[in-house]
Structure 1
């Protein structure tokens, strides 16, 4: 059974992503592990020698009480969407988000991480901001990021950006396996720029190798890589976009001010990032 880690702060953004996580877990017949983390403040105990432990115990208890109150609400959301049978367990951990995610991945043998992001403008925060950017850079399993305005819809079409490298082929096979679970099709995009060096024969080899799969290959001539990806999402009606590389530099063009405005209006879809290697 696949194990999916879902870090949550119980915000509206996280609760929206929770629906996507439930549907994902249901599709892959997996289990959700809900993770809530908190960091206790650093207190110089020389000024509070008597109350040092009392203060920490009080803060920990407050987090635990909040955790107990919020978990039933998430289970209610699951039942409202007819997903109450999805297996779920819970973890409340003290420490930094990245540290606890890495710890949970190791201890719980996690296969995927699903996280909410603060809307289209939050793509910049998610992909470039401190905490989550570190998560993207450090962990070596797929991450599904869900913008806050991305209302769940049945996954029928999965987009996949490629440069026809061997590592892309390995990732595509994983995407196709996921697509079969969703009963979805995969549409691949290669943006051929003036400096592209992919041979046409290689593309034909890929088409032949995957001829029995529910996948199509789209080659677009353009030097505007990010804009072409956005157009691809819109015109091919992509429900989830999968990408192999999620290093910050790649996404800086996607989240520039003009493109962020377009994203806000039209491109609120989840991005599934596969680690390189």
Structure 2
């Protein structure tokens, strides 16, 4: 059974992502491990020589009480969406988000991570911010990040950008497995620029290798890579976009002011990032 880690702060954004996590768990026949982390403030104990531990313990207790109160709300959400049969366990951990995600991945043998983020207007800060950028580059399991406005919908089309490198092929095989479970198709996009170094022979090899899989290849000649990918997402009705973690800089570009006018609610889609080791 696949194990899916779901970090949550119990916000509306996280609760929306929780539905995606439940549906993903159902898709891959997995279980959820709910993770809530908190960082205790650092006190100068010279000013609290007697009651320092009392303060510390009371703050820990308040976190536990909050955690205990929120779990039934999540179970109610699961029941409302007829997903209450998904197995769920819980972890409350003191420390930084990244540290505890990495710790849980190792200790709980996690296969996927699902987490919420603040939406399309925040993709830049999400992918370049310290915590999430570190999560993307440091963890070894696929991460499904869900914008606040991305309401769950059945997966029909999974977008996959490629430059036909060997590491792309490894990632594509992972995505195909998910697509087959969902009854979806993978739409692969290669933006062929004027200085592209991929020859027709390589492209043909890929097409032949995956001809019996639910995969379609789209080769678009353009020097406007970011704009082309945004258009591809919109016009090919992509439900989930797959990226490799070394392409994080791409998301810094597509969210600049000159491009945001191209984005509609259709772009509020989950992003599946995959780390491929050499």
Scaled by the length of structure 1, the TM-score of the pair is: 0.97
* Secondary structure of 1:243's aligned partner: strand
Q: Judge conservation of contact 2:158–2:186 (CA < 8 Å) in 1.
A: yes
Q: For 1:1-277, what aligned pairs fall within 5 Å after superposition?
A: 1-263=1-263, 265-277=265-277
Shift of 1:251: 2.1
Contact kept, 8 Å, 1:246 with 1:273, in 2: the verdict is: no
1:76 is displaced (CA, Å) by: 0.5
Distance 1:44 1:263 in 2: 48
Normalising by structure 2, we get a TM-score of: 0.97
Q: Is the 8 A contact 2:32 2:89 kept in 1?
A: yes
Q: CA deviation at 1:276?
A: 2.6
Task: Deviation per CA, 1:25-82: give whole Å up to 9, x if none.
Answer: 0000001100000000000111101110000011000000000000000010001111
Aligned Cα RMSD in Å?
Answer: 1.1
- Write the distance in 2 (CA, Å) between the matches of 1:23 and 1:153: 9
Distance 1:117 1:213 in 2: 32
Residue 22 to residue 9, structure 1, CA distance change in 2 (3 Å): same
Q: Offset at 1:247?
A: 4.7
In structure 2, C-alpha distance between the alignment counterparts of 1:55 and 1:136, rounded to whole Å: 35
Quote the Cα distance in structure 2 between the aligned partners of 1:264 and 1:40.
Answer: 40
SS at match of 2:5: strand
Post-superposition CA distance 1:184-231 (Å, at most 9, x none): 111100011111110111111111111111110000111111111111
* Partners of 1:185 and 1:243 in 2: CA distance: 16
Aligned partner of residue 34 in structure 2, secondary structure: strand
Q: Paired residues, what number?
A: 277
Q: SS of the counterpart of 1:253?
A: helix
Change (3 A) 1:261 1:43: farther
